[in-house]
A and B are shown apart, each in its own frame.
Chain A
Amino acid sequence: MKISLLLAITLVIGSAATAQVDSTLFKRTQQDTSKLLLNMDAVYNRPFLSVSKLPVAVGGYVEANWQHLGTDGVSEGHQFQMRRLTLFIASTISRRIKFLSEIEFEDGTKEINIEFASVDFEFHPLLNFRGGIVMNPIGAFNQNHDGPKWEFIDRPISATQLLPATWSNVGFGMYGKLYRDNWVYAYETYLTNGFDDQIINNSENKTFLPASKLNQARFEESFNGVPLLTAKVAVRNKKIGELGLSYMGGIYNKFQEDGLVLDEKRRHMTWAIDFNTVLPTGTYLNTEWAFTRVDVPSTYSQQYGEKQWGGFFDAVQPMFRRNIFGFERSVINAVCRFEYVDWNVGNFSETGDNIREDIISIVPGISWRPTSQTVIRLNYRYAWQTDILGNPASKTAGFLFGFSSYF
């Protein structure tokens, strides 16, 4: 599977490389900036490169970094990381039928995932059908996660370790948008394959939705035959910003097999709220908070929490916009992220005391955008992580430096 995937990618890149003999054959696909864009538009709001009159456009991004982090006086030293190489392939099959795929190589070739591969049929702006491997629209980050769009090297903890960004699955659904003056209203809803019981049965020793990402079989077989419903509504005002509300829920356990009952149906539900805006000062604010509820058997272990919540708040302040090293209109930003996750909300049945298992993190930094599609980032992270019992937090801190760029 991986080999054939690599071959296909090599062919695509190879054909593009051949075309580079004459650079005039290349052209950047123009992005539509005339309309109000939402997080749900991120999948198409990317720089693509088309070759001559081929009906296929390609693109992608790459990000790599150095980091030096230490926890309670113990450091793993200098680490160089190739976090991500992502390739996009888009095709306009007809004026109202489009195809887009996103293939991601994480940590070198440690993980190779088809994160998105769907065909969109537009029947009406309010009624589009999408099918294939879709990105479940829970929160904003899962929809809009391309590295070059972010001023922080690490993805938000709540987005990757509470919500399972990036989380995609096989299924079908509808989406649509309605424009009214300064407003745009949108919805997305999909039925896909869902989670599995690894969310309460994993080596993280806590309720952990991302554990289900290990189940690669989910792209061909539902774990329990019950679809996962994901739905989001979003509204954006040109002056106020964008607000999104989303839900994802379903049955996560295998309650029957071959007609034999194994357990009762156990449900999980996640709600998320996200908001982003640009203040008159030019300050970009972006936040997302999620709440999860999981039906954990009462005879299991409180190690696995029934409720979780967490989120992040990012502030990005452009400081300078000038020619630096010959990059005209490059921008330097001062940035700061606050994030918090509580993986186990509740009280111990033995003592009545609060169950912890949480993390707080602050990430100040600076970023330099020599062009809008490339960002060079220097972050400093300080995080306090507390175990389930509430013992003194382990403290992790250090610097990260790296880049992320579309190509």
Chain B
Amino acid sequence: MSATQGPITESGTPATPDPEQPSRWNQAFREITTGNAIISVLAVVLALFVGGIMIAFTNDGVQEAAGYFFSRPGDLLREVWNSVAGAYSALFQGSVYNFRRPSFAAGIKPLTETLTFATPLIMAGLGVALGFRVGMFNIGGRGQMLIAAALGGWVGFAVDLPYGLHMVAALVAGVLGGALWGGIVGLLKARTGAHEVITTIMLNYVAFYLVSYLLREGFLKTPGSNNPKSPATKATAVFPDLLGSTYSLHFGFILAIAATIFTWWLLSRSNLGFQFRAVGLNPHAARVAGISVKRIYVYAMLFSGGLIGLAGINQVLGTTTSGFGAGLDSGIGFDAITVALLGRSKPWGVFAAGILFGAFKAGGFSMQAAEGVPIDIVLVVQSLIVLFIAAPPLVRAIFRLPAPGSAPRRALPNVSQEVAAK
């Protein structure tokens, strides 16, 4: 693609060959159309469009109308519109605001559901993103969440503590559990050089079977029950509701915001975060600069695992307090990777991506219930969004936007830096 090659050759030329400024509107237009924000918006539009095609193609009404397309083409168009608009309006009403409800308080409930779904995604996404910034790929979200839930959950149902203190104790236990499970990976990488992709995948399975065993025969077993499920969390440890008991939004969302601020501070304001980023950009240079790369690997996995552990304990103390099984992570550990990628491994980016994916999750269920569109379409749309955002030249080519390099007197870095989200 010529657009990708253009800026590379031009980046070396001296800036401002032409002293005359174009109009401010023109400049503003160029900044908007070549910026990252427009790419993100267009990527979402494009992904929804592809999803719409899939919904329309598999809809029974559309297929029927396609049979007599040449006699009444209007029918086909109407059916396509009905199926796609129906699905997406159900998605919107299930995730943001439901117009069919009588009052605002009832209508806004889907939005609180979205935030509830987003909470663990944000927490775990932050953990994965932190790993990315250090150059480590943490696929171990599932295991870290399970261990966190096992330790924190045990404190939650087996220990007697006063209200408030109990919650804090369970939280700390959970975060420590996640950090421990992540720290093993960091330690193995630092000590023996074992590849973190292998060890995290393996530890996922180890954690799954360990927790399954503990639920069946160990200290997580509910006395007198054969169900592999833990006892319910005690009321003293459960997260308080934020908006009263009619909404499911709980204190975990505040924790997610706090975790985002903490990760932002850690990565961009702290000494340790500087070392994290240095190792992530170039471990050899970091080592020459006197940073102990191995130590940083361990710390990074401790923090990464701790953040993902927060997501695990959030599920036990906030979302499902009636006891958990071995399937508690329900794919969040893997979704977190996409969230981190969409958020470009930046804390607030992850926060926004988490809310977007939370909305898809909340809306997806109501779309499946109302329109019969399988929730898997949400996965398609989510992955397409990430794919398109990662490749700005593709989106520009589709919408015929000007490439950044073609803007007058703006020497831009070459495209590979722009897409390097890791």
- Is chain B a partner of chain A in the same complex? no
A-binding residues in B (CB < 8 A): none
B-binding residues in A (CB < 8 A): none
